Amino acid sequence: MKLGARAFKTGVAIMITMYIATLIGFEAGFFAGTIAAATSLQPSIYRSFQTMAEQIQANILGSAIAITLVLTAGNAPFLIGAGIVLVIGICTFFKMKEDTTFIAIIAVLALMMDSSNVVYLEFAGMRFTTILIGIFSAFLVNLAFLPPKYEIQLFNQISELTSDLLQWIRVTTRHLADQPALKKEIEMLNTELWQLENTYLLFSEERTYSRTKGIERARKLVIFRSLISLSRKSYDLLTTLHRLDYDIEHISKDISRRILKEVDKVMHTHEKLMLMYQGRIRSKDTDPLHSVSTPDVKGLIVELINYYDEGDEEARLKLIPLASMLYDYHEEMMHCKMLMKSYLKKASDHDFD
């Protein structure tokens, strides 16, 4: 079993909430605060601050509705249900997030249940405060303990995904792939691409308080976006090769070798780009990608057209898009290379080893 930093921070936030509630004499209602703490942890400091502000508003909304209902009509079960329906309706109208709506529901339940034998306003104030304690505890824990480093995580994800994609492309172009295994792997790689986009979003949400660091971070965002686009191109190429594997295997050996050669060109360039960003290729005196060959897409298309008979238009058109895809892949890499060279000249620190 693997426990991440978020699980640890959730436990710490709940513990702090319980200690504070006990110290100020709010033991009877700290369950609401612990639920608030557990639902307030977010994957980034920026989102944690945003969530804290939203959940404070939700706590106020839910508490106001609960207090109004109890003081005017009581706390019968059907009134609690009506209060929850009203809270959900208001939250939906204002397009609040599910976590925020959940806090408002918790506030209604906490303030309307078990309130018959105490001074109600005192009871409501205690529960309201306990929920706030849970929200603030989660925010402070997220701020102080193990802040996430999405830059390193993002690059590692890009590097691992690129390595997996290029390995599978090599296996597929040589017709060595087990088709059921490759199909399953393609689905997994698509999931990893989605996770990559999510990590990029979290990294883009991080805030810097220095103008210099802000500019450098903006450049990194551009580089990472370009590298992610390259990963997407690699994925598209792999899925196309998988779909056309039978056709490529049964054309002439000369054209099959030509396709393999052109695919190897773009993969070699992609690998060099990753090494270039990691500083593993010398770039003081020469361009580390100066020897990269542009895929001869025009020549490949001519060979494909000449290979098929004029009447076999369907077979001819099946492989020509592959050549076009290789050219797009190469052009995207040249654009990424230009951005990377500009970034590496100005970047002060990008060590991911």
Percent of all residues in the chain with a pLDDT value above 90, rounded to a whole number = 22
Lowest mean pLDDT among 54-58, 195-199, 244-248, 307-311: 307-311
Q: Where does a domain end: 122, 144, 166? A: 144
Q: Where does a domain end: 101, 123, 144? A: 144
Residue 93 exposed, middle or buried by CB count within 10 Å (0-12, 13-18, 19+): exposed
What is the average per-residue pLDDT within 287-312? Answer: 65
Residue numbers of the domain that contains 234? 150-346
Residue 97 exposed, middle or buried by CB count within 10 Å (0-12, 13-18, 19+): middle
Quick check: 320 pLDDT over 70? yes
Residue 334 exposed, middle or buried by CB count within 10 Å (0-12, 13-18, 19+): middle
Residue 20: the pLDDT is 85
Instruction: Quote the DSSP letter at residue 295.
Output: P
Residue 351 in domain? no
- The verdict on 136 and 167 lying in the same domain is no
- The verdict on 202 and 117 lying in the same domain is no
- The verdict on 21 and 139 lying in the same domain is yes
The overall longest dimension of the chain from CA atoms, in Å, is: 91
Quick check: 208 pLDDT over 80? no
Residue 353 in domain? no
The encoded tokens of residue 329 equal 């892949």
- The verdict on 121 and 161 lying in the same domain is no
SS3 of 174, please? coil
SS3 of 153, please? helix
Residue 162 in domain? yes
Distance between CA atoms of 29 and 34, rounded to whole angstroms?
Answer: 9
- The verdict on 341 and 205 lying in the same domain is yes
pLDDT digits (tens, 9 = 90+) for 174-193: 888 888 888 999 999 999 99
- The verdict on 162 and 133 lying in the same domain is no
Residue 112 in domain? yes
Do 255 and 195 touch, CB atoms closer than 8 A? no
Residue 316 in domain? yes
- The verdict on 67 and 157 lying in the same domain is no
The encoded tokens of residue 242 equal 């998988």
- The verdict on 33 and 51 lying in the same domain is yes
Distance between CA atoms of 126 and 33, rounded to whole angstroms?
Answer: 10
Residue 238 in domain? yes
- The verdict on 187 and 261 lying in the same domain is yes
pLDDT digits (tens, 9 = 90+) for 239-250: 999 988 888 887
Domains held by the chain: number: 2
Percent of all residues in the chain with a pLDDT value above 70, rounded to a whole number = 86
The encoded tokens of residue 274 equal 């990753």
Mark residue 74 as left, alpha or beta (left: phi above 0; alpha: psi -120 to 50; beta: remaining): left
CATH code of the domain containing 196:
1.20.58.220
- The verdict on 67 and 179 lying in the same domain is no
Q: Where does a domain end: 144, 165, 198? A: 144
Report yes or no on whether pTM surpasses 0.85. no
What is the average per-residue pLDDT within 188-201? Answer: 93
Do 205 and 274 touch, CB atoms closer than 8 A? no
- The verdict on 228 and 264 lying in the same domain is yes
